[in-house]
Amino acid sequence: MPLSEIRITLPAWVERFVAWQEPCVSAEARMALAIGLARANVEGGTGGPFGAAVFDLVTHRPVAVGVNLVQSAQNAVLHAEIVALMLAQATLGRYTLNAPGLNPHALVTSCEPCAMCLGALLWSGVRELECGATRADAARIGFDEGPVFAASYAYLAARGVGVRLEVRRAAAAAVLEDYRQSDGTIYNG
Amino acid sequence: MPLSEIRITLPAWVERFVAWQEPCVSAEARMALAIGLARANVEGGTGGPFGAAVFDLVTHRPVAVGVNLVQSAQNAVLHAEIVALMLAQATLGRYTLNAPGLNPHALVTSCEPCAMCLGALLWSGVRELECGATRADAARIGFDEGPVFAASYAYLAARGVGVRLEVRRAAAAAVLEDYRQSDGTIYNG
Question: Quick check: is B97 in a domain?
Answer: yes
- pLDDT tens over chain B, length 189 residues: 678 999 999 999 999 999 999 999 999 999 999 999 999 999 999 999 999 999 999 999 999 999 999 999 999 999 999 999 999 999 999 999 999 999 999 999 999 999 999 999 999 999 999 999 999 999 999 999 999 999 999 999 999 999 999 999 999 999 999 999 988 887 765
The verdict on a CB contact (< 8 Å) between B82 and A77 is: yes
Q: Which residue of B has its CA nearest to A98?
A: B189
Q: Quick one: pLDDT at residue B25?
A: 98
Residue B40 pLDDT: 98
pLDDT digits 0-9 by tens, B79-133: 999 999 999 999 999 999 999 999 999 999 999 999 999 999 999 999 999 999 9
Please report whether residue B35 resides in a domain.
yes
Q: Indicate the burial class of B100 (C-beta count within 10 angstroms; 0-12, 13-18, 19 or more).
A: exposed
Report the chain B residue with the minimal C-alpha distance to residue A84.
B4
Tell me if A55 is assigned to some domain: yes
Q: Looking at the complex, does the CB of residue B142 fall below 8 Å from at least one CB of chain A?
A: no
Active-site residue list of A = 81
Look up the domain containing B125 and give its range. Answer: 19-178
Q: Does position A105 have pLDDT exceeding 70, yes or no?
A: yes
pLDDT for B184 equals 80
Query: Is A4 part of any domain?
Result: no
- Measured CA to CA, the distance from residue A81 to residue A188 in angstroms comes to 16
Considering the domain boundaries, does residue B9 fall inside one? no
ipTM above 0.85, yes or no: yes
Res A189 pLDDT > 60? no
CATH number of the domain within which B103 lies: 3.40.140.10
Q: Is A186 inside any structural domain?
A: no
Nearest chain B residue to A99, by CA:
B189
In a domain, A14, yes or no: no
Task: Return residues 79-118 of A near B (CB < 8 Å).
Answer: 82, 85-87, 89-91, 93-96, 98, 114-118
- Do B80 and B51 contact (CB within 8 A), yes or no? yes
| pTM > 0.90: yes or no | yes
Are A10 and B4 within 8 A, CB to CB? yes
Which of B 34-53 lie inside 8 A of A, CB atoms?
Answer: none
Is the Cβ–Cβ distance between A148 and A115 less than 8 Å? yes
In whole angstroms, give the CA distance from residue A143 to residue A139: 5
Using a CB-CB cut-off of 8 Å, the residues of chain B touching A53 are none
* Tally of structural domains, chain B: 1
Residue B58 confidence (pLDDT)? 98
Give, in order, the Cα–Cα distances in Å from A26 to each of A79, A131, A147: 24, 13, 30
Q: How far is B126 from chain A (nearest CA, A)?
A: 8
A70–chain B Cβ distance below 8 A for any pair: yes
> Which of A6, A8, A16, A98 is the best substitution to test chain B (most B C-beta atoms within 10 A)?
A6
The pLDDT value recorded for residue B187 is 72
Q: Is residue B6 part of a domain?
A: no
A29-84 tens-digit pLDDT = 999 999 999 999 999 999 999 999 999 999 999 999 999 999 999 999 999 999 99
CA A51 to chain centre: 5
